[in-house]
Amino acid sequence: MSIGRSPRSTTYLVHHLDANPLMVASDVTDAMGLKAPEISLSKFRWEQTQQHHNQALQSGFVQGIRNASLNPEGFGKYTMKNSFTKTYFQDLKLHTHNYAKLWPWIGKEIAADTGNFGVYTQWENFNPDSSGVIKYESLIDRTEAQGVINRNEALQVYTKSMMGEVNFFDSIKTI
């Protein structure tokens, strides 16, 4: 694990996606007679939850990082408390695909690649150039194309995880 990774960061799990059986080549999916919908599931989920992205962007956590006023002690206590509950790990699994897109998007919005965020400047979670987004979205789109997941159910789970992330971000106070 590299320096600057939060225990909530799931970008280090991206390398496991290539081994997932659902990550078959697109020509295999096409040969199976499966068609991609007009709008991909990953794009559909993202567009349908835009209000939550903006809420996350305006949260105390993100604005605290942006303004270098996030209380490291408070953030550390919250993260440690959550990491020892069974709910944390269930939520982490639920939110994995959420992090892949939301965190780099926030990074782009706050200019994380060029900004000075105090002790959080070297933190990689908001890296706007995260390559994991493409892999996660490909997996989501292929699982729908293969009939493994239902679009409406996927949106419900994604919306729930997005709201959970907003609640997490709002729970952390700035200095």
Output the six-digit token pair for 99.
């992090």
Nearest to 41, CA basis, from 156, 160, 141, 145: 141
Each residue's pLDDT tens digit, 95-142: 455 567 898 899 899 998 888 888 788 777 788 887 778 888 888 899
pLDDT at 31 over 70: no
Domain boundaries, the chain: 42-171
Q: Which residues have CB under 8 Å from 165's CB, separation 6+? A: 52, 56, 95, 98, 99, 102
CB 128 within 8 A of CB 113: yes
CA dihedral 129, 135, 138, 139 (to 10 degrees): -140
Q: Of 155 and 24, which is predicted with more confidence?
A: 155
Question: Does the pTM of the predicted model rise above 0.75?
Answer: no
Each residue's pLDDT tens digit, 88-99: 445 544 445 556
Query: What pLDDT band is residue 33 in, cutting at 50, 70 and 90?
Result: low
CB 104 within 8 A of CB 133: yes
Q: In angstroms, rounded to a whole number, what is the distance separating the alpha carbons of residues 8 and 166?
A: 14
Least confident span in 20-34, 61-75, 100-114: 20-34
Q: Of 73 and 1, which is predicted with more confidence?
A: 73
Nearest to 34, CA basis, from 152, 161, 127, 146: 146
